[in-house]
Amino acid sequence: MVVLKHYTWLIILSVFAIWSSTKISSWPESIQGILVFFPYVAVALGLFIALWLNRIQPVLILLSLGCFNAVLFYFSSSAFGLDLTEETLFPVLSILLPLNILLWIFLPEKGIFNKRLNSLVVLIFLVQTVLLYWLLIGVPEEWLMLLSVPVVQSSSIILLSFSAGIMFLLTLFFIVLKMNQSSFKILYHAVFVVLVLMLVGVGQGFNLNTLAWFSTFSAIVLTLAMIFEAHRIAYTDELTGILGRRALMEHFLGLGKKYVIAMIDIDHFKKFNDEYGHDVGDEVLRRVARVLDGVKGGSAFRYGGEEFTIVFANKTVNEVMEELEYIRRKVESGVIEFRVGLKSIKTNVTISIGAAQSDIDFNVAKDVLKLADKGLFEAKLAGRNQIIVREYAISSSKVNHYKGSKSDE
């Protein structure tokens, strides 16, 4: 679901950028006249966010986009002339842009204050500056013309050069590999979209307004990716990958008057940490979290430690009992195998569950959670591996027991 949400906004922005680029020539001249400055505004905003979040990779990608536009604009407006920029500089920069993005995305993310990494980055920029100067001054023009050989000969629609196309495709290939080798990171998917947008822009030939438009949207995509990634980190539990306690508290704000809250605790969890080490304990937490995250009709959160919470909106206890029992049995039936020294150990994990539902007089989410937590406490006292439902009434508190298979034995 989270992945789908991010692909949705990435696709919408990409489609809009490509569609709107075809309308640029019909825009008022006053807008077209300032369009070349749009990337600098978008890049500056992105740099502010990246620096605030201490992210070096987005900083470098944004700087590459900014430099790409700035160099083209400067040389086309200076004594060097438009012909030199279009026939020589543009093909070279069209190769350097994806190459730079590839370099930056494979650099380790060590923040913006790492002196060794920053020295390497400065060196790379200096080498490219010298190389660019040498290409423009010392390389025969007929050699540079080879970089401009188009993919499609005599086409007025696809103006992409063969060399730039190869570099873009290679970069896209390596970005896909990077995406598959790691857990979901919004930045990698955003960089993939940036490459596609810039490929479309470069493929339309040397046009400062078109390139500025695609560069602007590329910077916007990177900025949004950083914001959403920061939000995901803040609201997601790093160990288990499911939503954390902060997300739970925010989720409470959107609940109506009818809902069920279940508190879940891993039985004898301290034993896993004490006897087998924290690595085994962490694996137990991840295994249980994966089961809970697949809950139907509810949302799972890590409450803290070995405790989890599931919230069922617009449900009653009777409607969710079958799902809670299914979760309890699924956790119980799973076998965890690990090694301690030379010894191979297999074990089962069980969970205890306390559940409570809101009613007319008892509809504050935090109070319902406390009641569910009481049910969880009683489930553990009653022998663990079972579900206890606490039902609130003004004069009394009613308790219903739903014992698990081990307790029944």
What number is the average pLDDT over the span 389-402? Answer: 54
State the DSSP code for 78.
Answer: S
* CATH number of the domain residue 301 falls in: 3.30.70.270
Report the distance separating Cα 69 and Cα 30, nearest Å.
20
Cα-based distances in Å from 83 to 75, 77, 79: 10, 11, 11
Same domain for 210 and 274, yes or no, is no
Which of 190-199, 214-223, 345-354 has the weakest average pLDDT? 345-354
Looking at the domain assignment, is residue 78 inside a domain?
yes
Cβ burial, residue 283 (10 Å; 0-12/13-18/19+): middle
How far, in Å, CA of 65 to CA of 62, rounded?
5
Q: Could you say which of 208, 235, 262 is where a domain stops?
A: 235
Q: Report which secondary-structure segment, H or E, holds 302.
A: strand 299-304
Domain count, the chain: 2
Radius of gyration, alpha carbons of the chain: 29
Rounded CA separation 113/143 (Å): 40
Active-site residue (options: 306, 307, 319, 391): 306
3-state secondary structure 148-208: HCECCCCCCCCCCEHHHHHHHHHHHHHHHHHHHHCCCCHHHHHHHHHHHHHHHHHHCCCCH
Other Cβ atoms less than 10 A from the Cβ of 313: the count is 14
68 and 25 inside one domain: yes
Within 245-391, residue ranges assigned H as helices are 245-253, 269-271, 278-293, 317-333, 365-381
A 10 A CB-CB count for 248 gives: 23
C-alpha to C-alpha distance for 354 and 370, rounded to whole angstroms:
10
Q: Of 187, 212, 235, which residue constitutes the final position of a domain?
A: 235
Residue 132 has pLDDT above 60, yes or no: yes
CA dist., res. 138 & res. 282, Å (int): 60
pLDDT band at 83 (very low <50, low <70, confident <90, very high): low
One-letter amino acid for residue 73 of the chain: F
**Mean model confidence pLDDT for the chain:** 86
User: Is 306 in the active site?
Assistant: yes
Cα(268)–Cα(306) distance, rounded to whole angstroms? 10
The answer on pLDDT for 347 being more than 90 is no
Asked if residue 211 belongs to a domain, the reply is yes
Which residues lie closer than 8 Å to 373 by C-beta, 6 or more apart?
A: 263, 354
d(CA 205, CA 42): 22
Whether residue 188 is found in the same domain as residue 98: yes
- Are 221 and 255 within one domain? no
Length of the chain: 409
Mean pLDDT of all residues in 281-287: 89
Q: How many CA atoms lie within 13 A of 115 on its CB side?
A: 0
Tens digit of pLDDT for each residue in 94-112? 999 999 999 999 888 888 9
> Is the same domain home to 13 and 90?
yes
Instruction: Provide the pLDDT confidence category of residue 227 given band limits of 50, 70 and 90.
Output: very high
Q: What is the predicted pLDDT for the residue at 76?
A: 81
pLDDT-based confidence at residue 156 (cuts at 50, 70, 90)? low
The per-residue pLDDT for range 10-22, each reduced to its tens digit, is: 999 999 999 999 9
- Whether the per-residue pLDDT at 196 is higher than 90: the answer is yes
Confidence at residue 80, expressed as pLDDT on a 0 to 100 scale: 58
pLDDT of the residue at 90: 86
Domain holding 104, by residue range, is 2-235
- What is the share, in percent, of the chain residues with pLDDT greater than 70? 87
User: Would you say residue 408 has pLDDT above 60?
Assistant: no
Domain shared by 252 and 136, yes or no: no
For the whole model, what pTM was predicted? 0.80
Q: Are 104 and 64 in contact (CB under 8 A)?
A: yes
Lowest mean pLDDT among 27-36, 151-160, 255-264, 280-289: 151-160
Residue 89 lies in a domain: yes
Tokens 């994966």, located at residue: 290
Residue 9's pLDDT is 93
Residues 102 and 178 in one domain: yes
d(CA 364, CA 358): 8
How far is C-alpha 254 from the chain's CA centre?
A: 23
Residue 246: partners with Cβ closer than 8 Å, 6 or more residues away: 234, 235
Question: Whose CA is closest to 202, among 86, 116, 117, 105?
Answer: 86
How far, in Å, CA of 167 to CA of 97, rounded?
9
Distances (CA, A) of 258 to 96, 261, 366, 402: 57, 10, 14, 22
110 and 33 part of one domain:
yes
Average pLDDT score over residue span 71-81: 75
